[in-house]
Amino acid sequence: MTLEARRTVDAQSLRRACGAFATGVTVVTVGGGVPHGMTANSFASVSLDPPLLLVCIDRKAIMHGCLDGTRSFGISVLAARQEAVARYFADRRRPLGAAQFDSVDWRPGPVTGAPLISGALAHFECDVWRSYDGGDHTIFLGTVLSAEQPDAADALVFLRGRFDRTGPAARTNDVSEVTTTCP
């Protein structure tokens, strides 16, 4: 039986099911002649040796062409208080180029010059190491050139199609549903 014949899930069902997996929220940026940023939650650590991260970018996104062109990028892992920043960089109506950073507090990365969002939980600067076809997205693997953790605040997360946060307001002490099956 072919893969196509076995496929039974539609895109909307997959999106809803994957939405049950809470993810962190990042802003991916590129510097250079035409800086650009976009909100992304498809970000992960891949390897410590060599140090690699990945980000998955829709082939139709402006960022896709930017990463193909500049070959280096920044990642800012957003703090709970930065939901407005996440929404801003997800808004397709925001200005393009350098103007999109006019209303955001940022600094250039020390290695690549890619914009790094101030107040973020962590910053990474990467060079594109490899890219792989991922259906309607491209999986960009980046060699980590620098990593910083300037703040120890609570994290912004994305769950079930909505922003949420970690921290005292999000935590409960109810462990009544927690069971263990391991010795």
Give CA–CA dist 45/144, Å, rounded: 10
CATH number for position 159: 2.30.110.10
What is the biggest distance separating any 2 CA atoms in the chain, rounded to whole angstroms? Answer: 57
Say whether pLDDT at 181 is over 80: no
pLDDT for the residue numbered 151: 64
pLDDT for the residue numbered 3: 63
Q: How far apart are the first and last CA of the chain?
A: 41
**Count of domains observed in the chain:** 1
The answer to whether position 101 is within a domain reads yes
The answer to whether position 109 is within a domain reads yes
Say whether pLDDT at 165 is over 90: no
pLDDT for the residue numbered 177: 42
Predicted model pTM:
0.85
The answer to whether position 99 is within a domain reads yes
Residue span of the structural domain in which 119 resides: 24-165
The answer to whether position 113 is within a domain reads yes
The answer to whether position 134 is within a domain reads yes
The answer to whether position 82 is within a domain reads yes
pLDDT for the residue numbered 175: 40
Q: Which residue has the tokens 């997205």?
A: 137
